[in-house]
Chain A
Amino acid sequence: MAGSSTHAIPRTEAGTAAGTIDAVKVYGKGQTEVRALDDVTVSFPVGQFTAIMGPSGSGKSTLLNCMAGLDTLTSGQALIAETDLSTLNDNQLTVLRRDKMGFIFQAYNLVPTLNAIENITLPLMLAGHKGDQAWIDKVVQIMGIGDRLHHRPAELSGGQQQRVAVARALASQPAIIFADEPTGNLDSRSGAEVLGFMRRAVDDMHQTIVVVTHDPTAASYADRIVFLADGRIVDEMFEPTAERVLERMKRFGE
């Protein structure tokens, strides 16, 4: 991880990998104004698997995007470790995403012209270094994609593609991984597999993961669930089960 010491984050058990302070995000103006985030203060501790849940339009994707530096807050702070994202320009943000964050999207996670291993090491290639080969081998082994490394995305199943995406997110040993509905496009068996791998990344490799999902089963893999409604944090749940999550989600409908 050479060359980016300005954003170094101390790996302490008690540390905070990311978070927001008084985060406000407003879309539109006047009559059409929408407060997607309304004073959200939240933190994601190192080594924790957190799920963000909430009904459509609750602001959960906005929160993720703003924390990941893909979107900017109207006011308040988004922090990766101690770095306030609003102080960075586009280039610095990009480098921060490359070196300190991992991303898993719902679909189209992979560059079609690159094979699996090239996709996995893409952020490292972009940074211009090889990364930790032993770590990458371990990631590949855990994700169970060792025999698919030289296949292109078109030759991989949906589940395999998402596992490659998880491997890519892990490859640079980022401070935090953001996942937006990572299993949304998968059948339940492949989805469970991918979530299992993400869980192992936290347990075996001490990674920090924040996942946005509306699927109670997916959320049940997390250590903690943060519930959002109308742009505010309305509840929190530790060591969730699918049933408890479903129960809680039903209450949003009332």
Chain B
Amino acid sequence: MFKLTFKSLLARKRRLITTALAVTLGVAFMAGTLVLTDTIGQTFDDLFGNAYANTDVQVRQVASFEGPDGFDTADQRGRVDASIIPSLLAIDGVATAEGDIFGYARLLAKDGDPIGRPDMGAPTIGSVWSETELNPFRIVAGQAPRADDEVVIDRKSANDGKLAVGDTTRVLVQAGPQEIRIAGIAKYGTADSPGGASFVLFRSSVAQRLLAEPGKFDSISLIAEPGISQGELAARVRAALPEGTEAVTGAVVTEENQDAMREAFSFFNTFMLVFAIVALLVGAFMIFNTFSITVAQRTRENGLLRALGASRRQVLLAVLLEALVVGALASLLGLAGGVVVAGGLQSMLAGFGLDIPTGGVVFKPSTVYTSVIAGMGVTLVAAVSPARKAAKIPPIAAMHAEVTGSTGYGSKERVMVGLLLLVAGVSSMLIALFGDVSNTLALLGIGVLAVFFGVSALGRTVSLPLSRFLGAPLPRLRGASGILARENAMRNPKRTAASASALMIGVGLVGFITILASSTKASINAAIDRSVTGDIVVTSGSGFFGGMDPGFAQRLNDVPEVGSATGVRMGPARVGDNVERIAAIDGVTGFEIIDVKPLQGAPQDLGRDGIAVYKDAADDEGLSVGDEVRVLFKDTGEHVLRVAMIFGEDQPLTTPYLLTTEGYETYFADAYDAQVFVKKAPGTSTAAALAAVERVADEYPGTKVFDQAGFKAEQGKQVDTILGLVYALLALAVVIALLGIGNTLALSIFERTRELGLLRAVGMTRAQLRRTIRWESVLIALQGTVLGLVIGVFFGWALVAGLEDQGIERFDIPVGAMVMVAVLAAMAGVAAAIGPSRRAAKLNVLQAIANQ
């Protein structure tokens, strides 16, 4: 029996390969994602291992709180006083003690352009040039900084910026643009730069002044005397530390940093794996369809086996074995492809501006298990139903002349199951989005899956009328070919529906994400229109780390064409029991430029110790004007702030709490403006104001100046970048679905050989035959697209409605994009038909007619 399986597999190599390909692509994507994330993980593990290689103990402030989700999840802690260094050195066993600073510094290249894209990739860091063994950098040219304006830079920045030893340039730091001279160029271990980051290394006192606060360090690193362990030294140091500071071993610091990085990338890992799972799911549809068709085509053969004495179990096992072989083959090929895919994904991400540094490729055994189990599991599960159908074939089937499988509409039970799944899916999605449940994402995912399965269960019932409707214009447009194409798409609704379902998933997700993106853009635009009364916006181009120094906004306020300018600062703090982001704008002019729609109280009530609360947060926390809230800041500790205002518009600032700039400077040590909003002076044209602002911004390379329309476009561009990335990742699922349509067509054509021969004999030209198959393919593709778009619109609506309190308040269906998707799907249908239609056209007419 098993021998038979292998023989029949070998006899159908071509089909074996195309079937396996669907799973191979999914597995390759999965393996590629795992390899890439493992490689990234290893890269950062090595990086931090290297960075703290000689650090035995680190002394730092005790963490105030963990960072808020999606901002900076690392522990938030204040700086430690430099003054404790002498007392640390006095401790028996401490060989060296040195302060560290990691601040924001944006180095300018020789031509004046900023080096690196901190908003998309590796950070641009300013730090301390260490004269001790703690320094992981090694000078390869020049020397250590001797003067206050001298720095050492990493070699990657030197290369990228065409900077040589002795060159002068500028660096943008918290203290404003600084003239510097390149004293030395250093490598990081064997690499040009740690993880692609840009480093500007100052003398310690200079770093304190320019990057942080005078007299303070982010942390202090210690080296132990020989023979003293990290643990022992930490214990000795701990005993001598003032309250609020702690001592941890180098091993712990390394691990903390590695964990934080891994956590930051775990989102990315999950994100990519979702697409791998989608690809596998689509592959499963193709496996199911292919096996269903081949089982139907082999009805006679299986009937004969049964007549000759094979048991049902044996027939069942034979089909499952076939699936197992296909799955194993596909998974192994996919694994091999995973390494290539990992590289491809990385360059693709780089193409979208996400430059992720990686060392050597890491291929873990867990990648092998996960990928192979996923690939084989998906194939096996997809083949169970066809295998059971094969086992049900009675021996008498051997005698029947011809079987073309079920052409049915779908049984009542099936329709019931489909409807049930659909209702369950929709309900769980709605509960997840609007209900009060803990595991929103899991429930949402299950709901989405149930909807997809429900619709595909109903597919064969919907397919016939849908084919008839979509194909209605075909007879008029394409004559005989059109009629035949439509009839062929209708002749086996089960098959058409299964092929279409695979595409439906991809298109559904494309439609969904398109609507979500479009709604997000519409919401942002509406919010800016509503609340930004300013005319010009300057963005820092530095992402979440660092920003423009406060001097920039001050200088803008001195420009005659500018009426007022306010910087937007943002930082985390614990308000009550929740860690939140707090934004700050100028207490007087800021609220004129950005209208936050005060509901209670007024901006002028804020002052230094007042806090403004967004209405939703106020509702949740039961706050109203006049209440007091305890706010914990990492740099300045706990303060009791007065609720001075409740506001009704959290866009474009996006935070639930607001301070004045004055208040912010009181409670936060660092001051970086992420954006500066500008209102032009009365009687000045926007163009003149824009030109004036641009003149100042020229001294802050990396910043971008927009008028309001440009600012909206820029916000939209960010959404579009993510949209493009998601499209690229979903493309694989669509490609697999198209392979599935091609495979189904090829199998159908094989079944219809004699009919095609007849058509050719009575005068159908090759071109007409190809056209017939092409249009059948287009109909299948359009069917999947229509179903997918309907689902996509629903998903989009549900999510937009669910995210209303996150600022997505407009539901926008981009009709043009939807039409575009349908047109592309039709074209993809044409592409899927290329192979099958060519082969069909090449049929030898006589042999085809004689075909039994």
Contact = CB atoms under 8 A, between A and B. Distances in A.
Contact of B484 (A113, A127, A168): A113
Interface stretch (B86-94, B661-669, B704-712, B762-770): B762-770
Given A71-B846, A113-B487, A168 B762 contact: yes
Among B488, B761, B767, B845, the one with the most A-chain Cβ atoms within 10 Å of its Cβ is B761
Contacts of B755: 108, 111-112
Nearest to A97: B763
Given A112-B755, A113-B491, A126-B768, A98 B483 contact: no
Contacts of A98: 762-765
Contacts of B759: 111, 122
Nearest to A90: B766
A108 B484 contact: no
Interface in A174-208: none
Given A65-B846, A70-B846, A97-B761, A114 B766 contact: no
B762 A123 contact: yes
Contacts of B340: none
A128 interface: yes
A71 B850 CA distance: 13
B766 A94 contact: yes
A113 B755 CA distance: 10
A68 B761 CA distance: 9
Contacts of A71: 846
A94 B760 contact: yes
B359 interface: no
A165 to B, nearest CB: 10
A8 interface: no
A70 B765 CA distance: 13
B483 A95 contact: no
Nearest to B760: A94
A109 B488 CA distance: 17
Contacts of B484: 111, 113-114
A131 to B, nearest CB: 12
Contact of A99 (B754, B758, B763): B763
Contact of B764 (A94, A109, A110, A113): A94
Interface string A108-139: 11111110001000110111100000000000
B480 interface: yes
Contacts of B765: 91, 94-95, 98, 126
Nearest to B767: A91
Contacts of B344: none
Contact of A125 (B479, B761, B849): B479
B758 A108 contact: yes
A70 B762 CA distance: 10
A103 B766 contact: no
Interface string A84-105: 0000001100110111000101
Interface string A41-84: 00000000000000000000000010010110000000000000
Contacts of A123: 762-763
A94 B767 CA distance: 11
A98 B767 CA distance: 14
Interface in B538-564: none
A118 B763 contact: no
Contact of A126 (B490, B762, B766, B846): B762
A112 B765 CA distance: 19
A125 B762 contact: no
A126 B758 contact: no
B761 A70 contact: yes
Q: What band does the interface of chain B fall in when counting residues whose beta carbon is under 8 Å from A? A: 20 to 34
A127 B483 contact: no
Given A70-B845, A97-B761, A118 B766 contact: no
Nearest to B489: A113
A223 to B, nearest CB: 25
Interface string A204-233: 000000000000000000000000000000
B180 to A, nearest CB: 76
Given A70-B761, A97-B761, A108-B758, A91 B766 contact: yes
Contacts of A109: 758
Chain B contact residues: helix, strand, loop or mixed: helix
Contacts of B758: 105, 108-111
A105 B491 CA distance: 23
Given A71-B846, A97-B761, A118 B483 contact: yes
A97 B488 CA distance: 24
B747 to A, nearest CB: 17
A114 B487 contact: yes
B764 A108 contact: no
A180 to B, nearest CB: 9
Interface string B755-790: 100111111111110000000000000000000000
Contact of B763 (A65, A108, A126): A126
Nearest to B755: A111
Interface in B687-708: none
A108 B484 CA distance: 16
Contacts of A95: 763, 765
A71 B848 CA distance: 12
Nearest to A68: B761
B762 A113 contact: no
A70 B757 CA distance: 10
A125 B483 CA distance: 10
A176 to B, nearest CB: 14
A97 B766 contact: no
Nearest to B763: A98
Among B479, B480, B484, B491, the one with the most A-chain Cβ atoms within 10 Å of its Cβ is B480
Given A65-B846, A70-B846, A112-B755, A126 B483 contact: no
Nearest to A111: B755
A53 to B, nearest CB: 21
A111 B480 CA distance: 12
A112 B484 CA distance: 10
Contacts of A99: 763
A128 B761 contact: no
B773 to A, nearest CB: 14
A154 B846 CA distance: 24
Contacts of B845: 70
A126 B764 contact: yes
A103 B762 CA distance: 7
Contacts of B479: 125-126, 128
Contacts of B849: 70, 105, 108
A122 B480 contact: yes
B296 to A, nearest CB: 16
Nearest to A169: B762
Nearest to B761: A103
Contacts of B480: 122, 125-126, 128
A111 B764 CA distance: 12
Interface string B813-852: 0000000000000000000000000000000011001000
Interface in B481-518: 483-484, 487-488, 490-491
Nearest to A178: B761
B493 to A, nearest CB: 13
Among A68, A109, A113, A114, the one with the most B-chain Cβ atoms within 10 Å of its Cβ is A113
A237 B731 CA distance: 69
A108 B752 CA distance: 11
A108 B650 CA distance: 72
A127 B763 contact: yes
Nearest to B487: A113
Nearest to B768: A126
A181 to B, nearest CB: 12
A103 B760 CA distance: 11
A127 B758 CA distance: 16
14 contacts: A70-B846, A91-B765, A91-B766, A94-B760, A94-B764, A97-B763, A103-B762, A105-B849, A112-B755, A118-B483, A125-B479, A125-B483, A126-B479, A126-B762
Given A103-B761, A113-B487, 7 more contacts: A98-B762, A99-B763, A105-B761, A108-B754, A113-B484, A114-B487, A128-B480
- 5 shortest interchain CB distances as A-B pairs: A98-B763, A113-B487, A125-B480, A94-B765, A126-B480
